[in-house]
Amino acid sequence: MVLMEANRGKPVDVVAGSLHIRLAESADEVRASQRLRYRVFCEEMAATPTAQQRLEQREWDSFDEYCDHLLVFDRQKTGAEAVVGSYRLMRREQAARRGQFYSADEYDLSALMAYPGEIMELGRSCVDAAFRTGSTMQLLWRGISEYVFYYNIDIMFGCASLPSVAPEQLALPLSYLYHHHLAPPALRPRAVDSRYVEMNSIAVEDINLREAKRLLPPLIRGYLRLGGFVGDGAVVDKDFGTTDVAIVVKTDWVTEKYYRHYRLAGESARE
- Give the per-residue pLDDT at 226: 87
- Average pLDDT on 239-244 reads 95
- Average pLDDT on 223-242 reads 95
Where exactly are the structural domains of the chain?
A: 4-270
First to last CA, the chain: 20
Amino acid at 33: S
Nearest to 112 by CA among 87, 141, 92, 88: 92
- Give the per-residue pLDDT at 5: 56
The answer to whether the CB of 144 falls within 8 A of the CB of 121 is no
| DSSP element (H, E) containing 84 | strand 83-91
Task: Flag whether pLDDT at 175 surpasses 50.
Answer: yes
Does the domain at residues 4-270 carry the CATH identifier 3.40.50.10300? no
- Give the per-residue pLDDT at 269: 31
Strand partners, 86: 71, 126
pLDDT tens string 142-157? 999 999 999 999 999 9
Sign of CA pseudo-dihedral 196, 202, 205, 210: negative
Task: Flag whether pLDDT at 257 surpasses 90.
Answer: no
Lowest mean pLDDT among 43-47, 62-66, 136-140, 258-262: 258-262
Task: Flag whether pLDDT at 7 surpasses 90.
Answer: no
Instruction: For residue 51, give every residue at least 6 positions away whose Cβ sits within 8 Å of its Cβ, in sequence order, or none.
Output: none
Nearest to 123 by CA among 223, 19, 15: 223
Average pLDDT over the chain, rounded to whole? 91
CB atoms within 10 A of CB 218: 9
- Give the per-residue pLDDT at 9: 72
- Give the per-residue pLDDT at 254: 67
Return the HEC string of 223-269. Answer: HHHCCCEECECEEEECCCCEEEEEEEEEHHHHHHHHHHHHHHHHHHH
Task: Flag whether pLDDT at 263 surpasses 60.
Answer: no
Task: Flag whether pLDDT at 22 surpasses 90.
Answer: yes
- Give the per-residue pLDDT at 134: 87
- Give the per-residue pLDDT at 118: 96
Global pTM?
0.89
Task: Flag whether pLDDT at 246 surpasses 90.
Answer: yes
Alpha-carbon gap, residue 77 to 81, rounded angstroms: 6
- Average pLDDT on 250-268 reads 58
pLDDT tens string 176-230? 999 999 999 999 999 999 999 999 999 999 999 999 999 999 999 989 988 999 9
Q: How large a percentage of the chain has pLDDT more than 70? A: 90
